[in-house]
Structure 1
Amino acid sequence: MDLINKFLNLVAPPFTLFSLCLFLPPFLCYKFLLSVFNSIFSEDVSGKVVIITGASSGIGEHLAYEYARRGACLALCARREKSLEEVADTAREIGSPDVITIRADVSKVDDCRSLVEETMNHFGRLDHLVNNAGISSVALFEDIVNITDFKQIMNINFWGSVYTTRFAVPHLRYTKGKIVVLSSAASWLTAPRMSFYNASKAALVLFFETLRVELGSDVGVTIVTPGFIESELTQGKFLTGRRQNSDR
């Protein structure tokens, strides 16, 4: 018996720790995604009109599919037209009654204005705006040679959401709609080598927390702060040198 107890004392702790490390992260990720989807899709979105930026891959792509399964009409936006059309085709197949694609660079204010205008011209209403488009960068601050190269991170991650929201708010007020903002755990978990990305995500949280108060009950605001999620952005598919760009 003593031998068995010694064996269990030796084996059980590392085995338990290994099991937790193996199974806990996927479980927590599943619970997180489930809570996000429940918070976004608690209402009946059948027939409602949804704009999703950065919809050509990653989180934006899968949000498009979730909305489509629930019968929402979609206006999908990204810079890569071919990928965007593929997402739109899939969304139609799985249940969306109407899907349009709009090529736009959300760092450009005129593109954001056109995105909302084209959506309104086609559907005549707007119920949800999902600000998802984003890019990332990986570099130590002191290693950066030309710091102005990183302005685009703030232009897309922060200003892209601000521009689109500005043009969408009047229509969202009319329908008592919702704004969904994809920030990141990086807004409060300061990972090294991602100073500009972290700052852009923190700016999103503070801006939309303020906007939530200003808009009151007229427009709902949901801020999502996911952790590390495997996507083209995190896989470095568009990594060039020390810069990484993606529509999420």
Structure 2
Amino acid sequence: MARQTLTNGFLSGFMHVGLALVLLAYLPIAFLCRLVYRLLIRPFAAGEDLRGKVVLITGASSGIGENLAYEYARKGACVALVARTEIALRAVAKTARELGAPDTLVVPADITNVDEAKRAVEETVAHFGKLNHLVANAGVWSSCFFEEITNVSAFQNVMDLNFWGAVYPTYFALPYLKASRGNIVVTASVAGRVPVARMSFYNASKAAVIRFYETLRAEVGPHVRVTILMPGYVVSNLTMGKGVQKDGNVGFDEEARDVRTHPSISLNHRYFHSSSSVDR
């Protein structure tokens, strides 16, 4: 009986000591994890406080750019709106102010021109005194089979706007974004990853955007965040058929619009073709 009592006492003491050791090991780790969450994770999970931040948006007169302007406005950011159509930009600026933007700036500019891209950035910084976000969003779509093109040199415009129209403002904005530890947001496309017929130049331009900004992220990552948007189908002028046509002019292609909006048509082999053959 005495031996059993001694054994039970020993086991009870061992369990209490073991529990104490577990708690001593657990509590510091739990405290550290909670501290890391509060300081490093929760602020980002909650989203950036955009009140008073300055955001320059290209392609802001319609589509994704217009709606991004409204979202930034709702969060209290000041927005500089850049596109070629001043009348449309002023309408967007008015709505942005109504939604909560403390201040707006309209900058009519063709960002495929390096000097105008520089001017857009400089006017933004001169007006607001800083720059926190650059949203490189301007773009154009192309919608025709490669072999049907009648003016191939005109399709340089697709690369000029989709690629260089993002790179130029990024180049001039980067020093200001590094100073503010800001963010570059660039609108690429899932088309940059998935080859879709009728969109060869568009696909190539978006693939170039993705790879360029992935590389830039590796170069400036500690100082400037780089966010690459790769949306799929979004209702806009582009998805309604507006793009560079086979003659090189920008217009509306109803057939291309229907291909993009009706899966039963777009799955036709004429529009989506894959091959398992490999060049050797």
For the superposition of Structure 1 and Structure 2, which TM-score range results when normalised by the shorter chain? 0.7 to 0.9
Give, in angstroms, the shift of residue 232 of structure 1.
1.1
Structure 1 residues 155 and 232, CA gap change in structure 2 (3 angstroms): same
Asked if 1:119 is matched to 2:124, the reply is: yes
Higher relative contact order structure (alpha carbons within 8 Å, sequence separation ≥ 6): 1
Q: Deviations over 1:103-150 (max 9, x none)?
A: 011110011000000001100100000000000111111111111010
Give, in angstroms, the shift of residue 60 of structure 1.
0.3
For residue 141 of structure 1, what is the aligned residue in structure 2? 146
For residue 22 of structure 1, what is the aligned residue in structure 2? none
Q: Deviations over 1:14-42 (max 9, x none)?
A: xxxxxxxxxxxxxxxxxxxxxxxxx9992
Asked if 1:96 is matched to 2:95, the reply is: no
Asked if 1:50 is matched to 2:55, the reply is: yes
For residue 84 of structure 2, what is the aligned residue in structure 1? 79
CA RMSD of aligned residues (A): 1.9
Q: Kindly provide the amino acid, as one letter, of the partner of residue 221 in structure 1.
A: V
How many angstroms apart in 2 are the aligned matches of 1:232 and 1:158? 19
How many angstroms apart in 2 are the aligned matches of 1:40 and 1:160? 31
Structure 1 residues 241 and 148, CA gap change in structure 2 (3 angstroms): closer
Q: TM-score, normalised by structure 2?
A: 0.71
Structure 2 unaligned runs (5+)?
A: 1-43, 253-280
For residue 161 of structure 2, what is the aligned residue in structure 1? 156
Asked if 1:204 is matched to 2:209, the reply is: yes
| 1:164-243 equivalences in 2 (<5 Å) | 164-237=169-242, 243=249
How many angstroms apart in 2 are the aligned matches of 1:129 and 1:168? 7
Q: Percent identity?
A: 54
How many angstroms apart in 2 are the aligned matches of 1:96 and 1:62? 13
Q: TM-score, normalised by structure 1?
A: 0.80
Point out the structure with max Rg over C-alpha: 2
Aligned residues: 208
For residue 66 of structure 1, what is the aligned residue in structure 2? 71
How many angstroms apart in 2 are the aligned matches of 1:172 and 1:202? 24
8 Å contact 2:140–2:243 — kept in the other structure? Answer: no
